[in-house]
Amino acid sequence: MKSPKTLRLILLFVLGGLVACAQEPKITPELLKTWYKQFPDADTDKDGALNEEEARIYYAKMQAAAIAANKTPAPTLTDVSYGPDARNVLDFWRASSEHPTPVLVYIHGGGFFMGSKADVRASRLVQQSLAAGVSVASISYRYLSPAVPLQDVLRDCARAVQFLRSQAAELKIDKTRIASCGSSAGAGTSMWLAFHPDMADPSNPDPVLRESTRLTCAVSWDGQFTYDMPQWAKYFGADNRQRYGGIYNSPGIYGLKSNEEVDGPVGQKLRAECDFYAMISADDPPVYLGCGLKTSGITDLNQYLHDPKHTQLLYDRCREQGVHAVAKIPALNILPAAGEPPYGEVFMFKYLTAGLPAPVVPGAK
């Protein structure tokens, strides 16, 4: 049986992207047959076919089971508003400490159309972080829509980091020790935060936006190499971009109306704002780049969005620019060097807690 994460990767494009952008979802008989073969348990009426409602119900059921199995503790604070939109909220888990703690910002995946801050509870990341003396903030952000282009979604996530810094005293966190991580869209956004020049605006009337967006380190799991979408054709082929790009090829992703605008001065500026690959420079924080797909080569939508080559492109660029990067890409025989953290969680805790005393675990002897 496939995991909720795998199911989301398959569903996000059709059930999320096309619906969210007010287009008719083009669910072909071939696609439904493919889903049925991969997730036969989702066919609840046992009619030998899978429909959209069954797929959504199946995903929700699997996610709920994963959350229950992990027994993630309840957040210290829930639905904390970090911005003006209803989805600008975060959950916060405070690590036990007499001193300000580092904080890990978790950014959920879902193609910018699905997912929520609750997704972190389907993993053991919260428990691992708290045991390491690291507090956790899991954020939700606005979904892509005709009124919310990609660059605004990314800015939501930057604002969440700035908000945490603005509330450092109240949350008892160390604003000099903040990391970001996520998978898929959350991975790309974490890289965008890591490589983007500091967005602090000291003269802004909003005190949140006066804070820095820079990170101590960042982790990408199964992420993309850039959100300048036309560049994908260069590395993955124009045919594959045409076949699998879907709404991500639309000018609307940047809030534009035509491909001419995308290629023109305004579009080039907006694309550059989303092109974290081009932003990489020697003063950026260390990053961990992981990809779990077993093969490289575009064969379907999931592979197009998460192919190991995405991760390799970032890894190679980091090394060219002098940014410390640890990569784990088994499909391309790229593994952490001896002595380097083998997992993203270990990598983050190494940098977040460097020089701090060992955490005191409540109840430990």
> Can you give the pLDDT at residue 269?
98
pTM: 0.88
> Can you give the pLDDT at residue 357?
81
> Can you give the pLDDT at residue 49?
84
List the domain boundaries for the chain: 72-352
pLDDT tens for the 365 residues of the chain, in order: 344 454 454 444 433 333 333 333 344 565 566 667 777 888 889 998 888 778 777 777 776 777 777 789 999 999 999 999 999 999 999 999 999 999 999 999 989 988 899 999 989 999 999 999 999 999 999 999 999 999 999 999 999 999 999 999 999 999 999 999 999 999 999 999 999 999 999 999 999 999 999 999 999 999 999 999 999 999 999 999 999 998 899 999 999 999 999 999 999 999 999 999 999 999 999 999 999 999 999 998 889 999 999 999 999 999 999 999 999 999 999 999 999 999 999 999 999 999 988 775 444 33
CATH 3.40.50.1820 fits 72-352, yes or no: yes
> Can you give the pLDDT at residue 12?
45
> Can you give the pLDDT at residue 287?
98
Contact call for residues 105 and 139 (beta carbons, < 8 A):
yes
